[in-house]
């Protein structure tokens, strides 16, 4: 079978790093090829080079057996390459429809032919069951939907080679199954797919081949049917990896975080939270399962002081915190790993060490009235970088240049360094590699064992099931079910999450 993509001896360097070091990757036409590797291994860089966002310092690219130069995404789109990026490239104030057609508009007398375009896109969306609200503004839809918009966008541009950079990181298991159906369908139609992922079960489930990258190099090409997750993990990390969370029985203490009848009506009058009540005790992890966009973000933002609930109460150790701003809430003993690291959790144009003190800058530890304590800030960074294995291990490196997983590690490091009593962790391992997940999970479990109260919000059911001591399911702004332990079937959770079991939900009310 002919190759659709041949990346030959690609080398790409950044100021401090060699992101791709003499990398050769060949992808058979009509196959699904998984690309895996630790955070910062160079997967995104390699694919963005293929997409024309970077120029390789050395090496050649062949598409459908023809040598090509790809100077910009404009060239790659013409070659039939579509890419769905790890960090979405959508224009928030524009509608979903506008984002999809942006740059590929069908015009009629200089105006976008709205009717025709809408029909075309609706048809595509239908065909691949990619449900999106076409007239909604992108800034108003959740990350899950934004992901679908990105995929639709590439398909709309008639991509014949589709690169997906961690597409499932933001999807629920149900959505992932759906996506994989779509991918299988695309493959059936002769399209070639490169899939970057950190989830080895996905690799096993859908790919034909898998390439493993480590520290800028390819360390193995495997045929999926002839390998297993353990082998891939070992290749990725360079040591045997624990693929399961080790966790002792939990000994929950007194409730620390209390949420009572919390209601939030957003600016557009939508009731995003409907009388939500829950408790998190010291020494336990309460997992919130749910399809993204069912009120989890608003719940977290209310608790962390970013938005003000319309009614209800939130207490830490019995003390009311509604009405306090983010800084005051932090001071009451709360840590917050926000769901969107680029938007909220980091200032990507500042260095690692400056990000490691975000919201801690006013502590006497890091600044006096007249100046920042630069030596302390640097040594704090050195310590955390080492402890959390952030790469590159340079306190002065600008955070923008870090891989997604390493950016996440910076946030985790900062939030856990607060030593807060309550930890709100929203999608803490999104886009993090298996080594990192292992580490973050272990860190959260250790925090639990030392008596912290942890509220875990995650779209990843595996994560919820393996970490939580109790599980709450959110659907449409309500807690529809709280399971007293984590001995639940995934399928049962799924029913509650999608609201498809209305009877059960009515019963719960």
Partner 1 sequence: MTAKKHLPRLVGITSVLEHPITQNFLIPLFAVVLSFAVGAIFIVMVGKNPFEVYSILFSQTLGSTYGIGQLLFKTTPLIFAGLSVALCFRAGLFNIGAEGQLQIGAFLTALVGMKTFGVPFYLEIPLLMLAGMVGGGLWGFIPGYLKAKTGAHEVINTIMLNFIATALVSYFVTNLYNVPATVHTPPISPAGRLPRFDAFVSGFQGSPVNFSIFVALIAALFVWYYVDRTRYGYELRVVGLNSKAAEYGGISVSKNIILSMTIGGAIAGLVGTNFVMGYKYYFEEGFSTGTGFMGIAVALLGNNNPFGVILAALLFGMLEYGGLVINTMVPKELVSILQAIVIIFVISSNKIFRKILTNFLKKRTLSIND
Centroid of chain to Cα 239 = 25
Using the contact rule CB under 8 A, the part of the chain among 78-86, 152-160, 241-249, 342-350 near partner 1 is 342-350
Tokens matching residue 481: 């079910």
Helix axes 173-188, 143-156, angle to 10 degrees: 10
Binding mask 418-447 for Mg ion (x = CB under 5 A): ------------------------------
Would you count residue 17 as binding Mg ion (CB under 5 A)?
Answer: no
Would you count residue 402 as binding ligand ATP (CB under 6 A)?
Answer: yes
Tell me how far apart the terminal alpha carbons of the chain are, to the nearest angstrom. Answer: 57
Shortest Å distance, C-beta 352 to Mg ion:
17
Binding mask 371-410 for partner 1 (x = CB under 8 A): xx-x------------------------------------
Residues 380, 416: Cα–Cα separation, whole Å: 13
Would you count residue 197 as binding Mg ion (CB under 5 A)?
Answer: no
Shortest Å distance, C-beta 51 to ligand ATP:
12
Task: Write phi, then psi, for 244 (nearest 5 degrees).
Answer: -120, 155
Q: Considering only CA atoms, which of 242, 338, 255 is closest in space to residue 298?
A: 338
- Residue 326 binds which entry of ligand ATP, Mg ion, partner 1, none, CB below 5-8 Å type-dependent: partner 1
Tokens matching residue 279: 């408790």
Would you count residue 362 as binding partner 1 (CB under 8 A)?
Answer: yes
Shortest Å distance, C-beta 422 to partner 1:
16
Would you count residue 290 as binding ligand ATP (CB under 6 A)?
Answer: no
- The DSSP letter of residue 168 is G
Would you count residue 406 as binding Mg ion (CB under 5 A)?
Answer: no
Which of helix, strand or coil describes residue 38? coil
Site for ligand ATP in 56-115 (CB under 6 A): 86
Nearer to partner 1, 108 or 343 (CB): 343
Q: Considering only CA atoms, which of 157, 154, 163, 153 is closest in space to residue 98?
A: 153
Site for Mg ion in 46-105 (CB under 5 A): 86
Q: Judging by DSSP bridges, how do beta strands 192-196 and 32-37 pair with one another?
A: parallel
Tokens matching residue 263: 């209601």
From the CB of residue 258, how many other CB atoms can be counted at a distance below 10 Å?
20
Would you count residue 325 as binding partner 1 (CB under 8 A)?
Answer: yes
Q: How many residues bind partner 1 (CB under 8 A)?
A: 40
Shortest Å distance, C-beta 311 to Mg ion:
41
Residues 203, 196: Cα–Cα separation, whole Å: 9
Nearer to ligand ATP, 70 or 256 (CB): 70
Nearer to partner 1, 431 or 435 (CB): 431
Nearer to partner 1, 206 or 381 (CB): 381
Q: Which residues of 424-443 are buried (b: 16+ CB within 10 A; e: fewer)?
A: bbbbbbbbbbbbbbbbbbeb
Binding mask 434-463 for ligand ATP (x = CB under 6 A): ------------------------------
Would you count residue 401 as binding ligand ATP (CB under 6 A)?
Answer: yes
- Residue 346 binds which entry of ligand ATP, partner 1, Mg ion, none, CB below 5-8 Å type-dependent: partner 1
Would you count residue 52 as binding ligand ATP (CB under 6 A)?
Answer: no
* Strand order across the 66-68 sheet: 18-28, 3-13, 58-63, 66-68
Residues 502, 101: Cα–Cα separation, whole Å: 37
Site for ligand ATP in 7-46 (CB under 6 A): 14-15, 17, 19, 37, 39-45
Residues 338, 21: Cα–Cα separation, whole Å: 33
Would you count residue 149 as binding partner 1 (CB under 8 A)?
Answer: no
Binds partner 1 (CB under 8 A): choice among 171, 206, 303, 346: 346
Would you count residue 338 as binding partner 1 (CB under 8 A)?
Answer: yes
Site for Mg ion in 169-188 (CB under 5 A): none
Shortest Å distance, C-beta 141 to ligand ATP:
23
Tokens matching residue 256: 């620390």
Q: Considering only CA atoms, which of 282, 273, 277 is closest in space to residue 313?
A: 277
Q: Is the peptide bond before 392 cis (omega within 30 degrees of 0)?
A: yes
CA distances from 165 to 53, 193, 211, 413 (A): 14, 11, 14, 25
Residues 6+ apart with CB under 8 A from 292: 142, 143, 144, 170, 172, 459
CA quadruple 241, 238, 24, 21: dihedral positive or negative?
A: positive
DSSP alpha helix (H) spans, 6-80 = 43-50, 73-78
Would you count residue 44 as binding Mg ion (CB under 5 A)?
Answer: yes
Under the rule (CB under 8 A), what is the footprint of partner 1?
11, 13-16, 18, 22, 57-58, 304-306, 325-330, 336, 338, 343-350, 354, 357-359, 361-362, 366-367, 370-372, 374
Under the rule (CB under 6 A), what is the footprint of ligand ATP?
14-15, 17, 19, 37, 39-45, 86, 401-405, 433
Under the rule (CB under 5 A), what is the footprint of Mg ion?
44, 86, 404
């Amino acid at each position: 079978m002919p190759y659709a993509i041949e990346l030959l001896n690609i080398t790409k360097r950044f100021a401090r790093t060699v992101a791709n070091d003499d990398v050769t990757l060949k992808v058979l036409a009509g196959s699904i090829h998984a690309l895996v590797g630790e955070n910062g291994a160079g997967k995104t860089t390699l694919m963005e080079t293929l997409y024309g966002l970077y120029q390789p310092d050395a090496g050649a690219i062949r598409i459908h057996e023809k040598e090509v130069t790809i100077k910009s995404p404009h060239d790659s789109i013409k070659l039939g390459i579509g890419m769905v990026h790890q960090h979405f490239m959508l224009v928030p104030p524009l509608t979903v429809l506008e984002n999809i057609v942006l740059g590929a508009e069908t015009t009629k007398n200089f105006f976008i032919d709205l009717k025709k375009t809408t029909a075309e896109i609706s048809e595509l969306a239908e065909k691949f069951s990619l449900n999106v609200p076409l007239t909604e503004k992108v800034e108003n839809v959740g990350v899950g939907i934004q992901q679908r918009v990105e995929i639709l966008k590439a398909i709309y541009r008639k991509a014949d080679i589709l690169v997906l950079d961690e597409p499932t990181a933001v999807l629920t298991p149900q959505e992932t199954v759906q996506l994989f159906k779509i991918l299988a369908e695309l493959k059936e139609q002769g399209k070639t797919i490169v899939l970057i992922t950190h989830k080895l079960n996905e690799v096993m489930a859908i790919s034909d081949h898998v390439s493993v990258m480590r520290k800028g190099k390819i360390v193995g090409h495997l045929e999926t049917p002839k390998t297993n997750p353990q082998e891939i993990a070992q290749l990725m990390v360079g040591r045997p990896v624990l693929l399961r969370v080790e966790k002792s029985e939990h000994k929950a203490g007194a409730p620390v975080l209390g949420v009572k009848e919390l209601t939030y009506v957003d600016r557009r009058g939508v009731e995003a939270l409907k009388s939500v009540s829950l408790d998190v005790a010291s020494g336990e992890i309460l997992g919130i399962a749910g399809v993204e966009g069912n009120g989890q973000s608003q719940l977290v933002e209310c608790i962390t002081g970013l938005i003000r609930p319309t009614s209800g109460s939130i207490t830490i150790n019995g003390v009311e915190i509604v009405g306090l701003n983010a800084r005051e809430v932090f001071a009451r003993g709360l840590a917050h790993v926000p769901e969107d690291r680029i938007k909220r959790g980091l200032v990507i144009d500042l260095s690692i060490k400056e990000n490691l003190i975000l919201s801690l800058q006013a502590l006497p530890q890091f600044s006096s009235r007249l100046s920042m304590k630069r030596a302390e800030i640097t040594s704090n960074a050195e310590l955390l970088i080492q402890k959390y294995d952030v790469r590159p291990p340079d306190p002065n490196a600008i955070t923008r240049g870090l891989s997604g997983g390493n950016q996440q590690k910076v946030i985790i490091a900062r939030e856990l360094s607060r030593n807060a009593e309550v930890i709100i962790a929203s999608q803490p391992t999104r886009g993090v590699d298996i080594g990192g997940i292992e580490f973050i999970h272990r860190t959260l479990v250790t925090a639990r064992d030392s008596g912290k109260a942890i509220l875990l919000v995650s779209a990843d059911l595996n994560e919820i099931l393996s970490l939580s001591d109790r599980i709450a399911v959110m659907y449409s702004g309500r807690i529809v079910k709280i399971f007293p332990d984590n001995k639940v079937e995934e399928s049962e959770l799924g029913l509650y999450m999608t609201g498809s079991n209305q009877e059960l939900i009515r019963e719960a009310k």
